[in-house]
Structure 1
Amino acid sequence: MTKLAAENLCRLYAQTRGLNAAVLRTARFFPEDDDTHATPSGENLKANELLHRRLTVEDAADAHIAALHRAPQIGFGTFILSAPTLFTREHARALKEDASAVIARLFPEAPALYAAKGWSLPRSIGRVYDSAHAEEVLGFRCATSFADVMTALREGQAMPFTHDPAYLSPKER
């Protein structure tokens, strides 16, 4: 409620006072409580989330810079920021019922690459963040996507995101 109220205040000031503002609704990019889960591992969880609700810290920073540059031209806008997704509205029911099958169709090598690492694909995805509006209006597209996870797994490289398995949230300390 407070976030929405703040967004509406920004909208009101943009409309009545000419204050340029871009509201950035970011997907996950910061450490979370579940980053230290054992199943799936925090690294596995972050890789999965790049499919539908995550971006890297670097992409979050770049998005803010893009918004600063575009704010004078747009006046006011609200934007969802997340890694690019291949999911569409037509995938919605199937993602809820059997996300791993949808992912396997879009990324045929994913099941084998995940299995080799001991990871699991998500069984169900209930929401997908779509950042197409940010790309269209701000000219910003996250540089890192799930395809980068596939490349890292295939080539034995480091994951394209930061992960600290020792992270403890303040409430767990």
Structure 2
Amino acid sequence: MNRSGIAITGGGGRLGGELGRRLSAAGYAVTLIDTRFPAWLHGPSPGIRLVELDLLSTRAQSVLRRALEGSRVVLHLAGLHGLHLRQGMRIPDIWRSNVEGTWQVCAASMAVGAERVVLASTTALYGPGSPPGDDAMILNEQRAPMPDNPYATAKLAAESIVASTVGSAAEGVSLRLGRFYREDESSYQLRKLSTGLDLEDAADAFVAVCEAPRLPCGVYCVASDLPLPTEARLALGKDCRGVLKQHLPGFVDEVARRGWSLPPRVGRSVDSSKLQSMTRYRPRRSLATLATKWRAEMRSVR
């Protein structure tokens, strides 16, 4: 795909802003679209254009079409998240934002001739994972979704809109992202045993999708996952420590030394190998990276 315009809805968020900076630095003309932007984005680089727009407003289509003109790739990050649901956001608002908003973006993208539309979806649509005593679920593109909350259900509907609206006219892609919300350092890192996704890896995944010459339509799972064989991924559901001791020597002891609480098991493990096989995406912030950093720190104090 030639270097050309890239539009990002939800461009005022953490991920959208990071992508805007990266893609602009790489030479792309970037349009960020959001209802509002943080102060630091009001003085962006010359390669970034800001468009303030509510995707659910009556003028959404006309403004969106003008904003998307010249964009070959549209990254649709805008929407309400599972965190909003836990904070008490109304279910109809979750639905309108994630479903109706996706339709608005897809319709405008097709009207201006965009060649690739990429939805930020979620691994939450697979449900909570296996019960204690069972092997961990391997979350990949072959596993059937089992959404168990309104947010996940809305994202599954949004994926359907991308598939049906974009269809054969362009490449419609849904990235099922692991969770990259940062609460504290230990949970942010150890969640990578399951569905954790580092913000840096999330940005890497979208950049890789933008730069792929061709990308078959469909869904792709994204996480900061360790390159574990199937047997090890399954075993995470019964013996998390044993898997780490075998595949990441020294990590368990270092976790204990730092006072972190390692879970005895995890009920699900994301496998991002399909996206890795189709693009340049490689998780750079997995627990293997953390282990390497810790070993370097230990050597420096000896």
Shorter-chain TM-score category?
A: 0.7 to 0.9
Of the structure 1 ranges 119-128 and 86-95, higher mean CA displacement relative to structure 2 is found in 86-95
Aligned-partner Cα distance in 1 for 2:232–2:263: 14
Alpha-carbon displacement from aligned partner over 1:11-45 (angstroms, at most 9, x marks no partner):
112324x13222111111123xxx2xxxxxx3222
Q: Is 1:156 aligned to residue 156 of structure 2?
A: no
Match of 1:11 in 2: 163
Match of 1:46 in 2: 188
Match of 1:64 in 2: 206
CA contact (8 A) 1:19 1:75 kept: no
SS in 1 for 2:270: coil
How many residue pairs align between the two structures? 146
Q: How does 1:2-151 map to 2 (within 5 A)?
A: 2-16=154-168, 18-31=169-182, 35=183, 42-70=184-212, 73-151=214-292
**RMSD in angstroms over aligned alpha carbons?**
2.0
Amino acid at match of 1:20: E
TM-score (normalizing by structure 2)? 0.44
SS in 2 for 1:30: coil
Q: Residue 6 of structure 1: CA displacement?
A: 1.1
- The 1:118–1:94 alpha-carbon spacing in structure 2 relative to 1, beyond 3 Å, is same
SS in 2 for 1:101: helix
Aligned-partner Cα distance in 2 for 1:95–1:28: 18
Amino acid at match of 1:101: G
More strand by share: 2
Aligned-partner Cα distance in 2 for 1:86–1:76: 24
Gaps of 5+ in 2: 1-152
Aligned residues: percent identity? 29
Q: Residue 126 of structure 1: CA displacement?
A: 0.6
Alpha-carbon displacement from aligned partner over 1:48-93 (angstroms, at most 9, x marks no partner):
12233222212211211221233x6225121111113233331355
Amino acid at match of 1:54: G
CA contact (8 A) 1:25 1:80 kept: yes
More helix by share: 1
Higher relative contact order (CA 8 A, sep 6+): 1
Question: Which one has a bigger Cα radius of gyration?
Answer: 2
